[in-house]
Amino acid sequence: MSFWYPSETELVLASRSPRRTEILKLAGIPHRVYPSTVEEKQMDGLPADIVVHWARAKAVNVASNFPDFPVLGADTMVYQDSILLGKPTNTQQAFEMLSSLSGRWHTVYGGVALAWHSREIAFAFSESTRVKFRELSESEIKAYITTGEPMDKAGAYGIQGIGCVLVEKVEGCYFNVMGLPVSRFLERLRSFLP
């Protein structure tokens, strides 16, 4: 058991995100990966509500298979100018996203949910972090896209990878931008356990 993780029961991560697995490993949290089968669809609402909705849906989906384990669901979205930026579907969309983020602030919303059926523990919350990109040239954006890194990430960048060179400032939780506000998650989980 990790000093920080308040349970001897292994966590189940309802996500195939390597970033979330990396964060849990960094925190010393014993876990297994069991991706949810929930298909995210476009929906209206406030960004904080949307990420919580999908995080909860993923946790509940997987918790039915693991009633005796704490199941963690998470979702991340980038928000700028009242537009949610998900994962780009092609290189042109990645270019447009990165161009819109260049030299400007945006907000990363993270949704976190836990479902632990046998202990009757369930909670969900959202976290927001402001991020500012430095001014990017067209050639820099194109070079970054050729790495392939933007294609499976909300907002078309990964702060923990090559995308770190795009970021000028971060206000709030860095790990939320990476995919999981782990400190706040552990604080909430500890509040439910003796």
**Quick one: residue 81, left, alpha or beta (phi over 0 = left, psi -120 to 50 = alpha)?**
left
Q: Give the active site residue among 44, 49, 68, 75.
A: 75
Strand ranges inside the chain, DSSP E? 11-13, 31-33, 71-80, 83-85, 105-116, 121-133, 167-171
Please give the Cα distance from 155 to 89 (Å, whole number).
Answer: 11
Lookup result for tokens 């959202």 = 126
Please give the Cα distance from 89 to 184 (Å, whole number).
Answer: 31
Beta bridge partners of 78: 85, 108
Active site (annotated) includes residue 75: yes
CB 125 within 8 A of CB 94: no
Q: Residue 192: what residue type?
A: F
CB neighbourhood size of 112 (10 A): 27
Which residues are the active-site residues? Answer: 75
